[in-house]
Amino acid sequence: MKKIIFEQVSNMILAILLACAAASTIAGSNINTDSSDYLVDIHFDKLWLVFILAAFIFTVLRYGYSKYLGKHDGYDAKNAEFSYQDEREKLISQHATKITYQFMTNILAASIIVLVFCNALTNSIFVLRLIPVILIAICLILMFFVYLVAWIVYDHKL
Amino acid sequence: MEVVNHVQYYRKQAGLTQENLAQLVNVSRKTINSLERGNYTPSLLLALQISKVLHLEINDIFSIEE
């Protein structure tokens, strides 16, 4: 179970950092479609550096975890959250994936509805540009969280 | 139909702990514990491995209850 907690928590942290970096780029960028010269000024914030640094650190940690701490736990850096020690854990992983898939189909459908209403409720280009990033980030984080919870629940059940 | 097993009984008779049996059949101790409690039905491969380690026929350890 420790390997799944380790993997999913690091995935969630990376997803949050990626969303923050993307949001900062959207907030800082300037796109001017009014003038005859189509002006696009994309601004990359320091948060991208933080995200890249965090991704590098987690890659090293994953490698270290697979070589030392997670070695007896069946953790494999390539398979990540789908790592399993034996057939029972493989079954748990399959159940958790199924639950996550079912959850994601609903949450993505709900996201489309949210996007439709956002378009109807605001005229702000800035907000409209930001909302898809926030929605996708929420979906991604929820997906990691649901997989983690489903894995823990099935681990106790089976 | 339900698969019932007598792994715990035969494991104790063989003088093995859950950890010992788990190591012999290459699974986690938790899997053996779950199997003994009847929460988990093992694959045919694991069932055969357990019966081989305990020097018994598969039918002695696992049976179907209707």
Structural domains of chain B sorted by starting position, each given as residue range(s) with its CATH number in brackets: 2-65 (1.10.260.40)
- Contact (Cβ atoms closer than 8 angstroms) between residue A142 and residue A11: no
Domain that holds residue A143: 2-157
Cβ of residue B33 closer than 8 Å to a chain A Cβ: no
The reply to whether B46 touches chain A by the CB within 8 Å rule is yes
CA dihedral A134, A148, A100, A93 (to 10 degrees): 150
| In the predicted structure, residue A40 carries a pLDDT above the cut 80 | no
**Structurally, how many domains does chain A consist of?**
1
Flag whether pLDDT at B31 surpasses 90: yes
- The answer to whether the Cβ–Cβ distance between B30 and A88 falls below 8 Å is yes
Phi, psi dihedrals of residue B18, rounded to the nearest 5°: -60, -40
Q: What are phi and psi of A51, to 5 degrees?
A: -65, -45
Whether pLDDT at A144 is above 80: yes
Residue of B nearest to A88 (CA): B31
* Contact (CB, 8 A) for B4 and B66: no
- CB contact (8 A) between residue B31 and residue A88: yes
Whether the pLDDT of residue A90 is over 90: the answer is yes
Higher pLDDT, A73 or B19: B19
Task: Indicate yes or no: CB of A86 within 8 angstroms of CB of B42.
Answer: no
Q: Is the pLDDT of residue A133 over 80?
A: yes
- Which residues in chain A are contacts of B42 at CB distance < 8 A? 87
Q: What is the pLDDT of residue A3?
A: 87
| Cβ–Cβ below 8 Å for B26 and A89 | no
How far apart CA A23 and CA A67 sit, in angstroms, is 35
Cβ distance B43 to A158 less than 8 Å, yes or no, reads: no
Check pLDDT > 90 for residue A76: no
pLDDT attached to residue A129: 85
Reported confidence tier of residue A78, pLDDT bands at 50, 70, 90? confident
Side-chain-side CA neighbours of B50 within 13 Å: the count stands at 28
CB neighbour list of residue A141: distance below 8 Å, 6 or more residues apart: A12, A15, A16, A19
In the predicted model, what is the mean pLDDT of residues A67-88?
A: 82
A157 at interface of B, judged by CB pairs closer than 8 A: yes
